[in-house]
Amino acid sequence: MDVKTLNQSQTTTEVFSQLAENNHEQVVFCNDPATGLKAIIAIHNTVLGPAAGGTRMWLYNNEAEALKDVLRLSRGMTYKNAISGLNIGGGKAVIIGDARRQKTEMLFRSFGKFVNSLNGKYITAEDVGITTQDIEYIAMETPHVAGKPESLQGSGDPSPVTAYGVYVGMKAAAKKAYGSDRLTGKKVAVQGVGHVGEYLVGHLAKEGATIYIADIYEDRLKEVSEKYDNVVVVDKEAIYDIDMDIYAPCALGATINDETLTQLKCKIIAGAANNQLKNEQVHADLCRKKGILYAPDFLINAGGIMNVFCEISLPVYNRQRAYEQAERIYDYTLNIFETAEKEQINTHEAAMRIAKERIRAAATLKATF
């Protein structure tokens, strides 16, 4: 065996061992040199229905990082969809590239063709770096896409519904931690003021919270701080150290880790970002030990997929229904806090138990005719 063959086989083994780690069903590598498309679609679990979850466009440092991200994100979708009572499984896609510079119509149409080749086993939508315009291009090549513009009878950008769910989840956390769900006067640090982050800032500003924002883009910071009251811009590296009541991660994942947990002095963590805990068990336990109430990300950021589900499951999309579903995140979140307290476990684990139990029960149901 020459060196090249050895390297190739090692890589294959590594990919399969990564899939085996969390029982992923399928991973599709999409390569189209003509458009520059390099994408990965990951299908984690389809017990509850076709895998559904957004597409992220991000300039990863390397391909291994992109694969790791899509595997983590698609697994998260399985449990998010399960705990939200939706009959869809977990999937996600990543497109490797700079969302500010490398988007073209044909790149997204090429991606749409790959999504279409899965015949509905995976349904895509927006995630970080993706707009309704990009979704419109994908929809030219496949019907298996949601979050289409409202002018195309779609549900539009899911972010407002996601932000609303995060907001009510945060209020439930405040109720548990402070005895009142009023956020007036609370100091909230919002990391990432993109689609969801900005809508969340809107809700918080309306309620009279003091909001600290950080982002990697100056133009976003300027726009958001000028648009809403009580907004203070902070350095993106300094955000973990500021004096705050609530930390709301709304950028990328893994920001709750050994290092940040020595810095954070907040009482609550409640945000939109997927996979906030770098190590789920370790860092959820550490939050509990430190007296930080962690609102499980996959529970409180489910508003967007609830909105998407209304588009794919109803004959006609109904925005009111999407908001009604997102509203329930308040009670779901309080319920998880109560369960965690009663069973002396961390809040992430309490939420995972409910999600896993629903998948197990649905698999049993399917076993009979």
Place of tokens 């520059």: 36
Per-residue tokens: 368: 């009979």
Per-residue tokens: 263: 């810095």
CA distance 365 to 15: 32
Q: Does 90 bind ligand NAD (CB under 6 A)?
A: no
338-to-249, 276, 342 alpha-carbon distances in Å: 23, 21, 6
CB of 51 to ligand NAD, least distance (A): 15
Q: Does 270 bind ligand NAD (CB under 6 A)?
A: no
Q: Does 128 bind ligand NAD (CB under 6 A)?
A: yes
By C-alpha distance, which of 107, 113, 108, 115 is closest to 41?
A: 115
| Residue 21: Cβ within 10 Å count | 10
174 versus 221: smaller Cβ distance to ligand NAD: 221
Using the Cα atoms of residue 357, residue 345, residue 183 and residue 189 in order, give the sign of their dihedral. negative
Q: Does 45 bind ligand NAD (CB under 6 A)?
A: no
Pattern 217-236, binding to ligand NAD, x per CB under 6 A? x--x---------------x
Q: Does 126 bind ligand NAD (CB under 6 A)?
A: yes
Q: Does 162 bind ligand NAD (CB under 6 A)?
A: yes
Between CA 25 and CA 216, with CA 40 as vertex, the angle to 5 degrees is 125
Q: Does 93 bind ligand NAD (CB under 6 A)?
A: no
248 versus 340: smaller Cβ distance to ligand NAD: 248
Q: Does 196 bind ligand NAD (CB under 6 A)?
A: yes
CB of 190 to ligand NAD, least distance (A): 9
Size of the residue set binding ligand NAD (CB under 6 A):
28
Pattern 17-36, binding to ligand NAD, x per CB under 6 A? --------------------
Q: Are strands 246-249 and 51-52 parallel, antiparallel or unpaired?
A: unpaired
158 versus 342: smaller Cβ distance to ligand NAD: 158
By C-alpha distance, which of 253, 248, 162 is closest to 209?
A: 248
Pattern 230-269, binding to ligand NAD, x per CB under 6 A? ------x-------------xxx-----------------
Place of tokens 């500021």: 242
By C-alpha distance, which of 71, 70, 43, 75 is closest to 56?
A: 70
Which residues are within 8 A (CB) of 131 and not within 5 positions of it... i.e. 6 or more apart?
Answer: 157
Which residues, numbered 292-331, are part of the site for ligand NAD (CB under 6 A)?
301, 304
Per-residue tokens: 84: 């939200």
Out of 127, 136, 141, 349, which residue is the one contacting ligand NAD (CB under 6 A)?
A: 127
Q: Does 191 bind ligand NAD (CB under 6 A)?
A: yes
66 versus 182: smaller Cβ distance to ligand NAD: 66
Q: Does 158 bind ligand NAD (CB under 6 A)?
A: yes
Q: Does 336 bind ligand NAD (CB under 6 A)?
A: no
Q: Tell me the HSE value of 247 on the side-chain side, using a 13 A CA sphere.
A: 26
Out of 89, 97, 112, 192, which residue is the one contacting ligand NAD (CB under 6 A)?
A: 192
Q: Does 169 bind ligand NAD (CB under 6 A)?
A: no
Annotated active-site positions, please? 92
**Contact status, residue 234 vs residue 256, Cβ threshold 8 Å:** no
Q: Does 136 bind ligand NAD (CB under 6 A)?
A: no
Residue type, 186: K
CB of 280 to ligand NAD, least distance (A): 16
| Residue number with the smallest Cβ distance to ligand NAD | 194
Which residues are within 8 A (CB) of 33 and not within 5 positions of it... i.e. 6 or more apart?
Answer: none
How big is the chain by its Cα radius of gyration, in Å? 20
By C-alpha distance, which of 237, 235, 228, 226 is closest to 260?
A: 237
Q: Does 138 bind ligand NAD (CB under 6 A)?
A: no
Residues in the site for ligand NAD, rule: CB under 6 A? 126-129, 158-159, 162, 191-197, 214-217, 220, 236, 250-252, 272-274, 301, 304
